[in-house]
């Protein structure tokens, strides 16, 4: 059997194959009103089509644990029960197709309150529907971004609570996997990196202090998330600062990620979703096929934590080789699944694997 189409067991959940859809923001929720943050018909069609196409796991895009935790006003949220009801339509359909549903819970931190990418993605003023971003330190993301308000210790505790409450709602909405978003320069990642965290209290300075907030979130989520269901954590394995000799700033590194992965494993995380970058806007990133895979492989080998690899994985044979070579336990297919919702079915034909085809599409087999 093709490695790409072998089932994968995480706690009580069996994912039917290793073709997984990563979180990819759609910026298509209502920004205000009673349905603010709730998934729409666009989200249903978007996720349902990938399930029909055979993806084993679909991770719903970064979903704000609070209104101010959204990247943009049009982001999804899961801070109220009305949103829960709207998500149930998606999780129910995915389950009917044999696809495992997951959701990424996030807080955008200093990168919050921005416009949609196709409208430039710039910072939004309060007059334009934006809000004051929060962060570990009063350091703007870049020259065009506002200086965030530094979180107090009490506010940090509030955010930890918001993650736990969001996880409770995710369970009520029918999700089988929760992923905590600690990557791409959003709030948890901002605390991890010394480039964005200049605090001098218990949440800044040393490695143990900078990882404290992340582990508190993990513990709070794991406490309310059922023991039999898996918990993921997404991380940027490097800021791409120390790899660049021309940039003197100190950032989060691959060594830090391996060390932190051991802590995450001890705190009940089942899989690390390994990406890179997003916290340092001028970092030079050597983008190319498989460019992030070595970071995932290091975690799998050195920390003994299962990993999913992501980053310009576009071909079935390429994805298969990552698994066969032991570099990852699953692959996250992003841009290619946007281009082709039926990537899993196409890959199964190419590699000789089995994938579920809805009976309505039986004539296509």
Range of the domain at 263: 3-364
Give mean pLDDT, residues 350-355.
Answer: 95
> 24-40: b or e for each residue (b if 16 or more CB lie within 10 Å)?
bbbbbbebeeeebbbbb
- pLDDT for 24-43, tens place per residue? 999 999 999 999 999 999 99
Rounded CA gap, 254 and 303, in Å? 12
User: Backbone phi, then psi, for 147, in 5-degree steps?
Assistant: -75, 125
| Catalytic (active-site) positions | 186
- pLDDT for 74-126, tens place per residue? 999 999 999 999 999 999 999 999 999 999 999 999 999 999 999 999 999 99
CB-count exposure of residue 110 (10 Å: 0-12, 13-18, 19+): buried
At which residue do the structure tokens 């590699």 appear?
A: 351
- Nearest Cα residue to 20 out of 344, 348, 349, 347: 344
How many domains are contained in the chain? 1
CA distances from 354 to 16, 237, 331 (A): 9, 33, 17
- pLDDT for 239-273, tens place per residue? 999 766 566 678 999 999 999 999 999 999 999 99
* pTM of the entire predicted model: 0.97
**Per the structure block, which two tokens stand in for 259?**
């060390």
Instruction: Give the CATH number, domain containing residue 70.
Output: 3.20.20.70
- pLDDT for 139-151, tens place per residue? 999 999 999 999 9
The partner residues of 330 in beta bridges, in order of sequence, read 308
* Residue 70 in this model has a pLDDT that exceeds 90: yes
Can you give the C-alpha Rg of the chain in angstroms? 19
Query: Percentage of the chain surpassing pLDDT 70?
Result: 98
């Amino acid at each position: 059997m093709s490695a790409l189409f072998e089932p994968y067991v995480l706690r009580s959940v069996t994912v039917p194959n290793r073709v997984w859809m990563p979180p990819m923001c759609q910026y298509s929720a209502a920004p205000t009103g009673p349905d603010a943050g709730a998934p729409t018909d666009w989200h249903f069609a978007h996720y349902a089509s990938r399930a029909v196409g055979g993806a084993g796991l679909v991770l719903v895009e970064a979903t704000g644990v609070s209104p101010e935790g959204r990247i943009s006003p049009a982001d999804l949220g899961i801070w109220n029960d009305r949103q829960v009801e709207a998500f149930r339509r998606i999780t129910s359909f995915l389950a009917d197709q044999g696809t495992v549903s997951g959701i990424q819970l996030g807080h955008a931190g200093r990168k919050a309150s921005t416009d949609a990418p196709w409208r430039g993605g710039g910072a939004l003023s309060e007059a334009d529907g934006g809000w004051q971003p929060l962060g570990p330190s009063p350091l703007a993301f870049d020259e065009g971004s506002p200086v965030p308000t530094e979180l107090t210790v009490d506010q940090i505790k509030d955010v930890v609570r918001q993650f736990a409450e969001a996880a409770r709602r995710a369970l009520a909405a029918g999700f089988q996997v929760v992923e905590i978003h600690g990557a791409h320069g959003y709030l948890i990642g901002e605390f991890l990196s010394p480039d964005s965290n200049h605090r001098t209290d218990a949440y800044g300075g040393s490695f143990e202090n900078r990882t404290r907030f992340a582990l508190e979130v993990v513990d709070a989520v794991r406490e309310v998330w059922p023991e039999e269901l898996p918990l993921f954590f997404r991380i940027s394995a490097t800021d791409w600062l120390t790899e660049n000799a021309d940039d003197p700033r100190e950032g989060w590194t691959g060594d830090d990620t391996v060390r932190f992965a051991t802590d995450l494993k001890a705190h009940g995380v089942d899989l690390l979703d390994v990406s890179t970058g997003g916290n340092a806007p001028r970092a030079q990133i050597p983008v190319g096929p498989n460019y992030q895979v070595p970071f995932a492989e290091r975690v799998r080998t050195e920390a003994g934590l299962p990993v999913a690899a992501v980053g310009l994985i576009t071909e079935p044979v390429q994805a298969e080789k990552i698994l066969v070579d032991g570099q990852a336990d699953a692959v996250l297919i992003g841009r290619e699944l946007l281009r082709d919702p039926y990537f899993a079915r196409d890959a199964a034909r190419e590699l000789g694997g089995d994938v579920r085809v809805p009976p309505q599409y039986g004539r296509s087999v």
